[in-house]
Amino acid sequence: MTPTRKHLISLADLSDADLRHIVARGVEHAKGVAAGEPLSGTVLGVYFRKTSTRTRTAFSSAALRLGARIISYGPDDLQLNTGETIEDTGQVMARMLDGLVARTAGTTEELRALAAQNRMSVVNAMSAREHPTQALADLTTMAGHFGGIDGLRVLYLGEGNNTAAALALGLTRYPGTELHLRTPPGFGVDPEILVRAKHYAAQNGSLVEERHDMLDLPTPMDVVYTTRWQTTGTSKSDPDWRTLFAPFHVDESVLDTSPGAVFMHDLPAHRGEEVSAGVLDGPRSIAFDQAEAKLHSAKAVLEWCIG
Length of the chain: 307
134 near ligand CIR, rule: CB under 6 A: yes
Least separation in angstroms between residue 192's CB and ligand CIR is: 18
Of 121 and 133, the one with the shorter C-beta distance to ligand CIR is: 133
Of 103 and 180, the one with the shorter C-beta distance to ligand CIR is: 103
Least separation in angstroms between residue 280's CB and ligand CIR is: 14
- Which parts of 100-129 interact with ligand CIR (CB under 6 A)? 126
Least separation in angstroms between residue 5's CB and ligand CIR is: 23
Of 206 and 231, the one with the shorter C-beta distance to ligand CIR is: 231
Cβ proximity of 9 and 125 under 8 Å: no
For CA atoms 52, 53, 57, 59, the dihedral sign is negative
Cβ proximity of 292 and 57 under 8 Å: no
Residue-by-residue DSSP string for 43-111: EEEEEESS--SHHHHHHHHHHHHTT-EEEEE-TTSSGGGGT--HHHHHHHHHTT-SEEEEE--S-HHHH
- Which parts of 139-198 interact with ligand CIR (CB under 6 A)? 161-163
The CA-atom distances, in angstroms, between 8 and each of 15, 98, 111, 158, 231 are 11, 14, 10, 26, 21
Of 42 and 134, the one with the shorter C-beta distance to ligand CIR is: 134
266 near ligand CIR, rule: CB under 6 A: yes
Q: Rounded distance, CA 161 to CA 229, Å?
A: 9
267 near ligand CIR, rule: CB under 6 A: yes
Least separation in angstroms between residue 54's CB and ligand CIR is: 4
Q: Rounded distance, CA 187 to CA 240, Å?
A: 13
285 near ligand CIR, rule: CB under 6 A: no
Q: Which one among 54, 129, 180, 196 touches ligand CIR, defined by CB under 6 A? A: 54
Of 129 and 180, the one with the shorter C-beta distance to ligand CIR is: 129
Eight-state DSSP code of residue 162? H
Cβ proximity of 159 and 186 under 8 Å: no
Least separation in angstroms between residue 229's CB and ligand CIR is: 9
Residues near ligand CIR, by CB under 6 A: 54-55, 126, 131, 134, 161-163, 227, 231-232, 266-267
